[in-house]
């Protein structure tokens, strides 16, 4: 077994931070139903509303009541698409514009609307993962109901120009949604500055608990519940309040907002060090994403001639935890849709690794990876059927 344990999969999820954990342990005893009128209920309700303020502040939402707690990012995204289904089915204006690199919950929710007869466009992205704005402008028209573009991509870390995307959508009167799951806590998020109508948040990406998220809905934007029942969350999201999750989310959001600048500086410094070590020590390593618009903590690299799952498991044996765009790790036969969308050939996409850094990453961790990774790549390349130099050239479909 390895001597060290290095977690570099913070985009997948983050550990629960101590401050949040402590508060949640205390909150375990807040058993009152926040919908009850008695004292215990009111106490729980007060905690929930305090949490809502903190979450609202994290995304620059002036009115906390525009935020609805959900079970997480997937539910928030599905709530938006479900709303568009009810809102758009009886009118001509029902075209949906999204991108080819969204999280599967957006891709599948959009595809489902497509099956129900809504015209759906999945915009192309360039070789850095930025939305093709020319195609976007061409697709915009008075028939567009919703534009949904992620604020930052989970796999390659590319940040989209949500402000400009929203501005153009607003010119023709479309609603705008952004999935900011990967952006919050890493870059400034402001729903007013961006001008979006809906914004999806998840708590477990910012050192809070799993199973809790939120959806921001601008006043007057339509909203249709995905889960019907009681009057919780103004009837937008029924179900007994998840006291524990919401209280944890509030604290995680408060800390994320307070530490944003520090967090970005810490992770980007170490991310850049990792990038430099890899480029210096591993020939033909290819950095994916947009260096000018990149999440501070994310580094996606293709290693021609070495298969992703083999890299991942070799690193795992050294105590280093990452993720891959290789099909083999997911059990499907197709490599990452994001890497294919940015123009990587499958032979490069299969050999891609995502390193996502976080709060607890140290320089020693990064130097350890810098030591362990090169021999792993060299070993796999040595047994490869095709010389890596050949793949490195062939794999650049559009090149950077």
Which spans of this chain sit near other proteins (rule: CB under 8 A)?
A: 1-2, 5, 305, 307-310, 313-314, 316-317, 319, 326-329, 331, 333, 335, 345-347, 350, 382-386, 391
Instruction: Look up residue 226 and give its two tokens.
Output: 């995905």
Burial environment of residue 378 by CB neighbours within 10 A (0 to 12, 13 to 18, 19 or more)? middle
Pick the closest to residue 273 from 159, 369, 157, 155 (CA basis): 369
C-beta of 94 vs 350, nearer to other proteins: 350
Q: Tokens 């790549």 belong to which residue?
A: 377
Using CA atoms, how far apart are residues 294 and 288, in angstroms rounded to an integer?
A: 10
Pick the closest to residue 372 from 303, 294, 309, 278 (CA basis): 278
On whether the CB atoms of residues 15 and 360 are closer than 8 A, the answer is yes
C-beta of 3 vs 219, nearer to other proteins: 3
C-beta of 188 vs 374, nearer to other proteins: 374
DSSP string, 366-387: HHHHHHHHHHHHHHHHHT-SS-
Alpha-carbon dihedral sign for residues 50, 55, 58, 59:
negative
Active site residue 328: yes
CB of 157 to other proteins, least distance (A): 23
CB of 356 to other proteins, least distance (A): 19
Instruction: Look up residue 52 and give its two tokens.
Output: 């809502």
Q: Which of 105, 199, 203, 328 is catalytic?
A: 328
CB of 120 to other proteins, least distance (A): 23
C-beta of 290 vs 347, nearer to other proteins: 347
Q: Residues with catalytic annotation?
A: 328
């Amino acid at each position: 077994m390895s001597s060290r344990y290095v977690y570099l999969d913070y985009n997948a999820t983050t550990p629960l931070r101590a401050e949040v954990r402590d508060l949640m342990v205390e909150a375990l005893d807040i058993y009152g139903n926040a919908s009850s009128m008695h004292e215990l209920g009111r106490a729980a309700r007060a905690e929930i509303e305090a949490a809502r303020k903190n979450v609202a502040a994290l995304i620059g939402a002036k009115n906390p009541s525009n935020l609805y707690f959900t079970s997480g990012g997937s539910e928030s995204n599905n709530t938006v698409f479900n709303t568009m289904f009810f809102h758009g089915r009886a009118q001509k204006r029902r075209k949906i514009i999204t991108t080819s690199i969204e999280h599967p919950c957006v891709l599948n929710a959009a595809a489902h609307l497509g099956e129900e007869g809504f015209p759906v466009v999945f915009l192309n992205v360039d070789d850095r993962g930025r939305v093709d704005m020319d195609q976007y402008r061409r697709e915009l028209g008075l028939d567009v109901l919703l534009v949904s573009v992620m604020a930052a991509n989970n796999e390659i870390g590319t940040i989209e120009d949500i402000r400009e995307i929203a501005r153009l959508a607003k010119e023709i009167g479309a609603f705008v949604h952004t999935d900011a799951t990967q952006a919050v806590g890493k870059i400034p998020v402001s729903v007013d500055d961006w001008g979006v109508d809906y914004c999806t948040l998840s708590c477990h990406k910012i050192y809070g608990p799993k199973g809790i998220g939120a959806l921001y809905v601008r006043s007057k934007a339509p909203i249709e519940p995905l889960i019907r029942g009681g009057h919780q969350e103004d009837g937008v999201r029924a179900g007994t309040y998840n006291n524990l999750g919401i209280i944890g989310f509030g604290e995680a959001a408060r800390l994320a907002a307070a530490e944003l600048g520090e967090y970005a500086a810490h992770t980007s410094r170490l991310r850049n060090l990792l990038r430099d070590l890899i480029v210096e020590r591993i020939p033909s390593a290819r950095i994916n994403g947009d260096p000018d618009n990149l999440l501070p903590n994310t580094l996606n690299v293709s290693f021609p001639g070495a298969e992703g799952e083999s890299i991942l498991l070799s690193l795992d044996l050294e105590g280093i935890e990452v993720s891959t765009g290789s099909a083999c790790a997911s059990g499907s036969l197709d490599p990452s849709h994001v890497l294919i969308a940015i123009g990587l050939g499958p032979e490069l996409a299969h050999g891609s690794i995502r390193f996502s850094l976080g709060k607890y990453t140290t320089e020693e961790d990064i130097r350890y990876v810098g030591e362990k990774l090169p021999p792993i790549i060299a070993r796999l390349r040595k047994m490869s059927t095709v010389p890596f130099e050949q793949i490195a050239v062939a794999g650049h479909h559009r090149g950077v």
